[in-house]
Amino acid sequence: MIREAHANGIKLVYREEGDPTAPPLLLIHGRTANHNDWNGITQHFAARYHVIALDLRGHGASDYPGSYELPEMAEDVVALLDHLGIGRATLVGHSLGGIVAYHLAMNHPDRVERLVLEDAPPPLPIPNRPPIVEDDSTGFDWRMVHGTEPQLVSPDPAWLTGLGRITAPTLVLSGGELSHVRAEEVAARIPGAKLVTINVGHLIHTAARGRFLQAVDAFLDG
């Protein structure tokens, strides 16, 4: 079921699956994707969770407000949880969605039951990153790409410290040597985080769906 909410001053579109009385599990897609990135994943979790897969601001059918600060994107998710009457949720975030998820977990520890970060970039400077070149891709706001890029390349140093404030049990999935992301740097800074490497590159949940689901299930059941 596709729904929309007015949350944190913008329209957020989201998809709901599963029993609304089951434990809530929120899926947060990566940059330039949308809730459809989780097709095939939502159905698996909907067997025992109330699954919510949103379009982040600047993506899909949600609003394109022009401002794309990563901590503010995390506040959007908190506002969506408030709209849905959800106190605590398990968060699963891929790439940029993982950054949004760890900002939420560091700033609102009381709202996160468990945290799964799929190949999420650490808040460390990225040297020699090539500039963004626009193409004819649609379905997202190019201003979001340009607005988030400086925050990825030269993140606020306080964000690295913030990872140490995360209290939720955390699973970090790394795409290994085939990925451009060093997710193990995230795991090293979150207290007690478990690191699992699936050496298929950045898009673990599509390149190795079965192994992705097996790792997440084992963590959530643990």
Residue ranges and CATH numbers for the domains of the chain are 2-126+143-221 (3.40.50.1820)
Q: Which of 77, 74, 73, 62 is nearest to 25 (CA)?
A: 77
Q: What is the pLDDT of residue 110?
A: 98
Alpha helix stretches (DSSP H) within the chain: 42-46, 70-84, 96-107, 142-153, 157-163, 184-189, 204-207, 209-221
In a structure prediction context, what are the per-residue pLDDT tens digits for the chain, which is 222 residues long?
999 999 999 999 999 999 999 999 999 999 999 999 999 999 999 999 999 999 999 999 999 999 999 999 999 999 999 999 999 999 999 999 999 999 999 999 999 999 999 999 999 999 999 999 999 999 999 999 999 999 999 999 999 999 999 999 999 999 999 999 999 999 999 999 999 999 999 999 999 999 999 999 999 998
Place of tokens 């600047």: 58
Q: Tell me, rounded to whole angstroms, the distance of Cα 73 from its chain centroid.
A: 10
DSSP structure class, residue 165: T
> In the numeric block, which tokens belong to residue 14?
């989201």
> In the numeric block, which tokens belong to residue 137?
């891709």
Give the whole-angstrom CA distance, residue 129 versus residue 124.
Answer: 13
Angle, to 10 degrees, between the axis of helix 70-84 and the axis of helix 96-107? 70
Q: Are 213 and 221 in contact (CB under 8 A)?
A: no
Q: Which of 35, 30, 103, 117 is nearest to 70 (CA)?
A: 103
Q: What is the pLDDT of residue 44?
A: 98
Q: What is the pLDDT of residue 161?
A: 97
Q: What is the pLDDT of residue 47?
A: 97
Q: Are 28 and 93 in contact (CB under 8 A)?
A: yes
